[in-house]
Structure 1
Amino acid sequence: MLSRFRCQVLLRAISAVLCGVVMTAAASSAVAQDAFDFEKLQERAAAMAAKPYVAPPSRVPEALRRLNYDEYRQIAYRADHALWVRDDIPFRMQFFHPGFIQLHTVRINEVVDGRAARIPFSAEAFDYRGAAQAAGSGLPADMGFSGLRVHNQLNKPGVWDDLIVFQGASYFRALAKGSHYGLSARGLAIDTAGPGGEEFPVFEEFWVERPMANAKGLRVWALMDSPSVTGAYQFLIKPGGVTLIEVNAVIYRRAAKAEGRQVFGIAPLTSMFWFGKSSASHPDDLRPEVHDSDGLSLHTGTGEWLWRPLDNPRAMSVSSFSDENPRGFGLMQRERDFENYHDIEAAYHLRPSVWVEPVGDWGRGEVRLVELPTPDETNDNIVAFWSPFTLPPAGEPLRVSYRMHWFNEAGGNTPAPRTGIVVSTRQGRSFTHETNLRRFWVDYGGDALAKLSAGEKVEAVVTVGDGARVAHVSAEKNPHNNTWRAAFAIEPDGSGKPVELRCFLRNNRGGALTETWSYLWNPETR
C-alpha cells in the first residue's frame, strides 16, 4: 500500500512540470467516430464484468521505462497543441506522456454531438530534451497517454490554470480558486488496509465532451477495470471558488470475486499528515505544522457533526464510524494561517479541503479512516472513504452518486456545521504535577461562540472509553481570540489499550454549542 502512496507523492512533484501532449480538434477528427453515451458505457462495463479479467499489455517502450525522474521532466508538452486552444471554449486539455513510473497508458476520446473520436498519440506535440531525446524516437502511434490535465481561467481572466488531473489508477486531483494541489481522490478503493493487500482499479479509457463556448462545466466519462470490478463513471466538473464535481458511478463485480468478503471504498480521499498541533511529538523540523489535511469531518444521518483530528501513528490505525444514509464526510484543511506552516514553496495553507455529499440514500455502512505511519511529508498516509455494509452480487450494478466540493475557505456555500467547530487540538502532560495524567486542550470557534460572554454557563461534556477515566474537566472562554477551550485530563488504567475520546460544549439548557470532537488516543504508540 505504501508503495502506491509513494507513487502518488511523486505525481505531486511531476504534475506541476509534467509533460502532456495536446492534439488539436482537427487531428482528432481524422479518427473514426462511434456513437457514445453513458448508457452505452454502462453496457460495456457490464459485458466486461461477465468475463475474466485480462490485464492490458503495456505499450510503453523500454527506453521510456528507463527514464529517471529528472530525465522524464525533460519531455515538455507544446502548449500550442492543446485541445481547443484555438477555439472560444473555457477549457483546454493536455495529455500526459508515458515514462518513468507512469507505465500504464490510457485511451482518450473527444465526444462531439454524441460521437466519440479517439485522440491519437503524436510525438510531434512534444519537445524532447537531453536524455529524453533518444527515448522520444520511434514511439508507437497506439501507445496512448498516462493521463490528462484540464486547464481553465480559474483565478484570473486570460491566465490558464490547472483545474483537474486524472493520472494513475483511478486517481484524480482538482483545484478551486486560490488553491494549490494537495489531497487526491479516487474512483474506487478495494480492501484498503486489508490483510490480503489492496487492489487498485484503473481507469482504462476516458471520453471528454467538447464544451460549448458558454459552458460552465466539463463532462468526462471513464471506464474502470480491475480483477474484481468494472465500472462506468461520469464526472461533471464545475470550476469556481468552490469547484464542484458531480459523480455518477455504476460498478459491477466480477463473479470470481463476488463470493468473498470485500471492502469497497466509495468516494475515497487520499491525503498526507506528518505533524500538527494535535501531534504528541514533533519532528526536528523548522516548520510548526506539515499536512495536506488536518481532520476528518462527518455529518451523520442523524444530523450530528463529528470532527476527528488526523494523526501520524507509529502503527497503522483504522477507525470506523457506522452510519445510515450519511449526509457527508470529507478531509479538511482547517488551519489556513501561513504562520502555522511557514512553508513558502509547499503553501500548505492553500491546500484544498474536499467534502463528499451523497446524492440519494446510501443505506447502512461506515466511514473508514485509515492512518499510516510516515517518516516525512513525501508519503500520502491518510485514506478516508464510505464502505457499504452490503454489496450486490455479480452481474447486478452498484449505483452511487455524490457531489465533491473542493474549496479553501469554509463558509458561504461550503458544507460546515452551524454550531461551533474545532479549531485546534493539543495534548501533552505536566512534568511537575500529576505526571500520570494525559492532558488535552480542544479549542472551539465560530461566530455564535465568540458572542457568548465569559460569564455564560458553558459545560464541556467529555466521554472516555475503556482504558482510562476522566480526571479533570473545565471549559472557559479565551479572551485573546474569543474561542472557547475545553480542557480535560485522563488517567490510563495501565492496560495499554487505545482509548476513544469524545468532547463537545453545551449550554445550561443542555443544547449542543459545538460539533463533537472525536479522538483515538493510543498510549502504546506515544
Structure 2
Amino acid sequence: MFFGLLSAPVSAFDFHDVEHRARQLANQSFKKPDVTLPQELRSLDSEHYSQIHYKKERILWRDAKLPFEVDFYPPGWHFDLPVRINEVTAQGVREIHFNPKDFDYGTNKVDLDKLHGPGFAGLRIRYPVNSTTRKDEVLSFLGASYFRALGKDQRYGLSARGLAIDTALGTGEEFPRFVEFWLLRPQASDKRLIIYGLLDSPRATGAYRFVLQPGVDTVMDVSARLYLRSTVGKLGLAPLTSMFYFGLGQHPEKDDFRPAVHDSDGLSIHMGNDQWIWRPLVNPKRLLVTSFSTTHPLGFGLMQRQRDFSDYEDPVLRYELRPSAWVEPKGNWGAGRVELVQIPTPDETNDNIVAYWVPDKLPALKTAYDFSYRILWQKDKGTRPPELWVAQTLLGRGYTHTSDGSISLAIDFEGKLSGKDSVESKPEGLVSVDANGKLLEQKLIHNEATGGWRLTLRLQRLDANKPVELRASLRSGDKGISEIWSYILPPD
C-alpha cells in the first residue's frame, strides 16, 4: 500500500510509484489474500451475478459531469478475490472503499451485514462512443488480469490479459491478477483516461500503465514492467483470449440453425519481414498448439472478419458485432514467436482460443523487464494487408463423380490490386501441403460476385489420425500479392 502517497500532489504519483511496489513484491514471498465470501455470493451463477449493479447515484465522476464515468463490480460467483481501487486527484490519492449498500442486488437475497471489507471484484469505464447523450461501457477489468474494451457499435466478445504464464503446458497455467488500480481523474475536455495497475502472482509481479482512448476503434496503449519471482516455463505477452465453436471452415457436430458461432475466426500476424499470415481458427478434438517464429513482430491479432448478420443469424448474441483485437508492439520485441492455443470446446460458453507473444529469452529473476504495445478494438475496418486478404475459408468433402474420400477447401481472397496486378493479369496460386496430405487438384478463378479470387483445393489425407498443414497465397509474376493462408486440418 502507498501510505506515503495518500496526501501527495498528483504530480508526485506516476508509473514509477507502481513500479516501486511491483519491485517490492517481487522480493517478497507471494501471499494469497485470505477472503471468505458469504455462501449466498459464492454460490451465484452467471445469471444471478449479472443482476447485481452499482447504483447510478454512486457512479464515480457522474456528479462532476466529466467525460468518463466509473462503476464497480461486486464480489461473487468466480470473483472472490479483492481488488483495491484508488482515485488520483490534485489533492492526492484516495482509496475508494467497498460499501455493500452501493449495489442493487436484484432478486438475490444478500445479508449486507456479512459484507464488511471484501473489496471490489473489478471496474468498468463509461464514455459516449455511440451517442452524445449516453455514456456507453467501453472498458472492463474483471477477473485475474482480464480486460476487454469496445469501440463504436460493438458488443463484448474476446478479452485481453495483462500476462499469461505457462499456458498449455503440462505443469498447469498460472493466472496473474491485477490486485490494485489507480484511476487518474480526467479533466472536462479529456478524451483519454489513464489507469495504473499492479499485477501479482506466485511467480511474477508487474506495473502497468493503460491509456484508454475510446472511439470508432477504441485504442489502448499499454506500458508494463515485469519482475519474475521465480522461473517460468513460458511467458506470454499481450495475450488475447477468444472463442471459436464452429464456422464456415468447420461444421458443428450437433444440429444448429446458425451458420457460425465464434468471437473470432482467425489469427492474423504481420511478421517482422513484412509478410502477412492468416491462420483460420478451428475447434479441435484435442489440444492444438502452433506457433510462428519471427523477429521484431509488427503486429498480431484475433480477428472477426465475418461481419454480416447472415453469417451468424443470431439476433440475441450478435456475433457480427464482436470486436477484433489487434496488437501493435512498440519498440524492439526481439526474437520470439506468436503462439496460438486452440482447445476443444463442446459449446460456445467456453473461451477456447488464446494467442500471445513468447520472447525467446526470458528475463532474469527479479530484474526489470519492460515492454509496451497498443491494442486496437476494431469492427468495420480491421487491420489487414494492403492488397489481397483472406475473407473466408470453406471446407467440405471433395466433389467427384465417384467418391474418393477427398477433402475440398475454398479460400476467398478479397481486396484491391494495383497497376499490373489487376484482374486483367490473372494471379497464380502457390500451394504447399505437408507430408500427410496429397494435393489432387487446385484451381483459381475470378469471383465475379465479390470482385476477388477463389482458390479451390482438393486433397487426400494419408493418415486420418494426424493433422495436415497447408499454405497458400497468390502472386503476380514474381511478386506476392496476398497474405499467406496457413491452415491446420485437424485429425479426422
Q: What is the Cα deviation at residue 222 of structure 1?
A: 0.7
State how 1:98-247 maps to structure 2 within 5 Å.
98-113=75-90, 115-132=92-109, 134-140=110-116, 142-247=117-222
Of 243, 252, 273, the match for 1:302: 273
Contact 2:336-2:360 within 8 A present in 1 as well:
yes
Residue 428 of structure 1 aligns with an amino acid whose one-letter code is G
Whether the 8 Å contact between 2:101 and 2:112 is mirrored in structure 1 is no
Displacement of 1:131 = 3.7
- Which of the residues 323, 326, 330 maps onto 1:359? 330
Question: Superposition pairs for residues 79-478 of structure 1, below 5 Å?
Answer: 79-113=56-90, 115-132=92-109, 134-140=110-116, 142-254=117-229, 257-258=230-231, 261-279=232-250, 281=252, 283-410=254-381, 415-430=383-398, 432-433=401-402, 435-448=404-417, 456-478=425-447
Paired amino acid for 2:207: A
Cα offset for 1:158?
Answer: 1.1
Q: What is the CA–CA distance in structure 2 between the aligned matches of 1:453 and 1:401, rounded to whole Å?
A: 39
- What does residue 64 of structure 1 align with? 41
Q: Deviations over 1:215-242 (max 9, x none)?
A: 1100111111111100001100000011
CA distance in 1, matches of 2:108, 2:270: 51
Question: In 2, Cα distance between the equivalents of 1:330 and 1:301?
Answer: 15
**1:341: how far off?**
0.7
Structure 1, unmatched stretches of 5+, are 1-30
1:108 aligned counterpart, secondary structure: strand
SS of the equivalent of 1:370 reads strand
Change (3 A) 1:130 1:283: closer
- CA displacement at 1:126 relative to structure 2: 1.9
CA distance in 1, matches of 2:91, 2:276: 43
2-side partners of 1:311 and 1:114: how far apart?
Answer: 52
Query: Is the 1:152–1:162 contact (alpha carbons within 8 Å) kept by the matching residues of 2?
Result: yes
Do the aligned partners of 1:293 and 1:332 also contact (CA within 8 Å) in 2?
Answer: yes
AA aligned to 1:241 is: V
Q: Given the superposition, is the C-alpha separation of residues 72 and 499 from structure 1 closer, same or farther in structure 2, using an over 3 Å criterion?
A: closer
Q: Structure 1 residues 290 and 73 mapped into 2: Cα distance closer, same or farther (>3 Å)?
A: closer
| CA-CA distance at 1:153 after TM superposition | 0.6
Q: Shift in Å at residue 112 of structure 1?
A: 1.0
Q: How far does residue 451 in structure 1 lie from its aligned partner after superposition?
A: 10
1:232 to 1:159, Cα distance in 2 relative to 1, 3 A:
same
Cα distance in 2, alignment partners of residues 231 and 47 from structure 1: 10
Residue aligned with 2:130, SS: coil
Which is further off, 64-73 or 157-166? Answer: 64-73
AA partner of residue 310 (structure 1): L
Deviation, 1:144, is 1.1
Q: Which residue of 2 aligns with 1:501?
A: 470
Matches of 2:421 and 2:449 in 1, distance apart?
A: 14
Per-residue CA deviation, residues 338-383 of structure 1 (Å, 9 max, x unaligned), is 1111111101000000000000110111000001111111111100
Q: Distance in 2 between matches of 1:95 and 1:82?
A: 8
- Change in CA separation of 1:129 and 1:479 when aligned onto 2, cut-off 3 Å: closer
Alpha-carbon separation, structure 2, partners of 1:366 and 1:68: 37
Q: Give the conservation status (yes or no) of the 8 Å contact 1:429–1:435.
A: no
Query: Against the structure 1 CA distance between its residues 468 and 218, is the aligned structure 2 distance closer, same or farther, given a 3 Å change threshold?
Result: same
How many residue pairs match? The answer is 484
Task: Report the alpha carbon displacement of residue 436 of structure 1 after superposing the two structures with TM.
Answer: 3.5
Change (3 A) 1:130 1:469: closer
* Local SS of the residue matching 1:154: strand
Distance in 2 (alpha carbons) for counterparts of 1:163 and 1:494: 48
TM-fit CA distance, 1:434: 5.5
Evaluate the alpha carbon distance shift between residue 100 and residue 491 of structure 1 in structure 2; reply closer, same or farther with a 3 A threshold: closer
User: Aligned pair in 2 of structure 1 residues 449, 138: CA closer, same or farther (>3 Å)?
Assistant: same
Q: One-letter code of the match for 1:122?
A: N
Q: Which residue of 2 aligns with 1:489?
A: 458
Deviation of the 1:482 alpha carbon: 1.4
Q: Check the 8 A contact 1:449/1:513 in 2, yes or no.
A: no
Q: CA deviation at 1:435?
A: 1.7
Shift of 1:99: 1.5
Distance 1:436 1:124, change over 3 A: closer
Bigger Cα displacement from structure 2, 425-434 vs 305-314: 425-434
Greater shift after overlay, 147-156 or 281-290?
Answer: 281-290
Are the equivalent residues in 2 in contact too, given 1:33–1:115 (CA < 8 A)?
yes
Distance apart, 1:136 and its partner CA? 2.3
- Structure 1 residue 448: Cα displacement: 2.3
Query: What's the CA shift for 1:471?
Result: 1.9
Q: Which amino acid aligns with 1:456?
A: S
Task: Return closer, same or farther for 1:460/1:449 CA change in 2, 3 Å cut-off.
Answer: farther
Measured at CA, do residues 149 and 430 of structure 1 come closer, stay the same or move farther in structure 2, by a change above 3 Å? same
Q: Distance in 2 between matches of 1:43 and 1:263?
A: 25
Aligned to 2:485: 517
Taking only aligned residues, the RMSD between alpha carbons, in angstroms, comes to 2.0
Alpha-carbon offset, residue 114 of structure 1:
7.7
Partner SS state of residue 137, structure 1: helix
Moved more, 511-520 or 53-62: 53-62
Q: Is the 8 A contact 1:458 1:476 kept in 2?
A: no
AA matched with 2:486: S
Aligned-pair distance for 1:119?
0.4
Report the CA distance shift for 1:154/1:32 in structure 2 as closer, same or farther (over 3 A): same
Q: Which amino acid aligns with 1:55?
A: K
- 1:9 — aligned with what? none
Q: Secondary structure at the match of 1:39?
A: helix
